[in-house]
Amino acid sequence: MARVNKVLIVGGGIGGLSLASGLRDRGIEVDLVEVKKEWTVYGVGIIQQCNVIRAMAQLGLMDRVLDAGFAYENMGIYTAAGELVQMLPGARSAGPEYPANLGISRLALHKVLSSTAAERGTTIRLGLTVEHLEQDVDGVDVMFTDGTRGRYDLVVGADGLFSKVRSMVFGKELKPRFTGQSVFRHNFPRPPELDHLMVCYGKNHNAGLCPLSKDLMYMFVTSSEPGNPRVPEDQLADLMRERLAEFGGILGRLREQITDPKQVVYKPMEVIFVPAPWYRGRVVLMGDAAHAMTPHLSQGAGMAVEDAVVLSELLVEDAPLEVLLSRFMQRRYERCKFIVESAIQIGDWEMQGASRADRSGLVKKVMEVIAQPL
């Protein structure tokens, strides 16, 4: 018999919502609080690779996600001028019935995840967070910022990079670090030939295009931004065009259409990796709250969804919570550490202008690791 009956999830992002669906499927009562009043999602699109597709399928979410996104198989490597160097086939390791990869807009993914979590019976409250929590051997007493209270068997901090739960329970000194790079992104209508992920290696920047739906794709360009300068919002279009200056082909043509700064999404790359264990008593961290990485491997959300799969499986087991959470660490820590460190390494190589050979070797190793079962 499960000993975890009621869980509080703090944060309704990709990880928290995936976990809510997984736990509800197993009959665990779930309250989820999200600090945003208007449940908008920031950002453009997201890439889900084979391991994430497998994890989403395990949570029973994949069919809906597939309908809302754009399935694709290959990644094309191009020169800055736009000439194809190599087309790398993806691996269908989620099973022959699923594609190797999927691109999806963040908003579309959020709609699928939030509606599924609600349909499966999650109690979702918006515009509030945890004010105070106090745990004893049997549970956690939580006071919320609206003055309401609750008692839970487990509290999950799924509240992202700047996690309040992490700061309250694990210490304020655990803070994200800026890696030295940023990324500019912009949506465009998708032409039919952009049916794969396109990555272009330039001398100073890397850029590319990712399909998100039948009609939509997004462009990204990464750049070194020493000192994490404050970027004036009204200059974002000019700055993105400037970062794309060395690219020809389709990127060069689209560059000229970047004129509205409001359409550009700018994000400095910030990372954190919380030392083991990611739990203190009855409070556990997951997703970016525990292990936020740079986007170079397109695996941050993937690792959050995998956390959700593993926690959902473990929390119905009949064992003391301490044992279950230590099993969570055994299954997650090394895998996440390797992916986080690899993504950071690739970013460091980009900033140093180091050899691409290292990158291909490391990416190959990452692909082998993520293909392994959880």
Ligand X SMILES: Cc1cc2nc3c(=O)[nH]c(=O)nc-3n(C[C@H](O)[C@H](O)[C@H](O)COP(=O)(O)OP(=O)(O)OC[C@H]3O[C@@H](n4cnc5c(N)ncnc54)[C@H](O)[C@@H]3O)c2cc1C
Per-residue binder mask for ligand X (CB under 6 A), 253-282, x = binder: --------------x---------------
**Among residues 59, 109, 169, 304, which is the contact residue for ligand X, using CB under 6 A?**
304
Closest separation between CB of residue 65 and ligand X, Å? 12
Q: Determine contact, residues 163/289, Cβ cutoff 8 Å.
A: yes
Under rule CB under 6 A, residue 295 binds ligand X: yes
Q: Could you give the CA distance from residue 45 to residue 54 in angstroms, rounded to a whole number?
A: 19
Comparison of 11 and 180: residue with beta carbon closer to ligand X: 11
Nearest residue to 286 via CA among 264, 303, 262, 266: 303
Under rule CB under 6 A, residue 347 binds ligand X: no
Q: Determine contact, residues 222/205, Cβ cutoff 8 Å.
A: yes
Going by the DSSP 8-state scheme, the letter that residue 175 receives in this structure is -
**Among residues 4, 7, 8, 14, which is the contact residue for ligand X, using CB under 6 A?**
14
- DSSP calls for 154-170: EEEE---TT-HHHHHHH
The span from the first CA to the last CA of the chain, in angstroms, equals 23
The tokens describing 199, both together, are 């990555």
Under rule CB under 6 A, residue 337 binds ligand X: no
Pick out residues in 128-147 that bind ligand X (CB under 6 A).
Answer: 129
Under rule CB under 6 A, residue 46 binds ligand X: yes
Q: Could you give the CA distance from residue 165 to residue 150 in angstroms, rounded to a whole number?
A: 16
**Among residues 12, 76, 90, 208, which is the contact residue for ligand X, using CB under 6 A?**
12
**Among residues 288, 310, 325, 333, which is the contact residue for ligand X, using CB under 6 A?**
288
Q: Determine contact, residues 154/282, Cβ cutoff 8 Å.
A: yes
Q: Could you give the CA distance from residue 337 to residue 273 in angstroms, rounded to a whole number?
A: 7
Q: Could you give the CA distance from residue 361 to residue 68 in angstroms, rounded to a whole number?
A: 33
**Among residues 4, 7, 8, 10, which is the contact residue for ligand X, using CB under 6 A?**
10
The residue range among 119-127, 156-164, 277-285, 316-324 that interacts with ligand X, by the rule CB under 6 A, is 156-164
The tokens describing 324, both together, are 């279950």
Nearest residue to 110 via CA among 14, 252, 186, 228: 14
The residue range among 116-124, 230-238, 291-299, 334-342 that interacts with ligand X, by the rule CB under 6 A, is 291-299
**Among residues 76, 90, 302, 347, which is the contact residue for ligand X, using CB under 6 A?**
302
Going by the DSSP 8-state scheme, the letter that residue 102 receives in this structure is E
The residue range among 56-64, 86-94, 300-308, 337-345 that interacts with ligand X, by the rule CB under 6 A, is 300-308
The tokens describing 367, both together, are 């692909």
Pick out residues in 71-130 that bind ligand X (CB under 6 A).
Answer: 129
**Among residues 159, 225, 306, 350, which is the contact residue for ligand X, using CB under 6 A?**
159
**Among residues 7, 11, 53, 117, which is the contact residue for ligand X, using CB under 6 A?**
11
Residues that bind ligand X (CB under 6 A): 10-16, 33-36, 46-47, 129, 158-160, 164, 183, 267, 287-288, 295, 298-302, 304
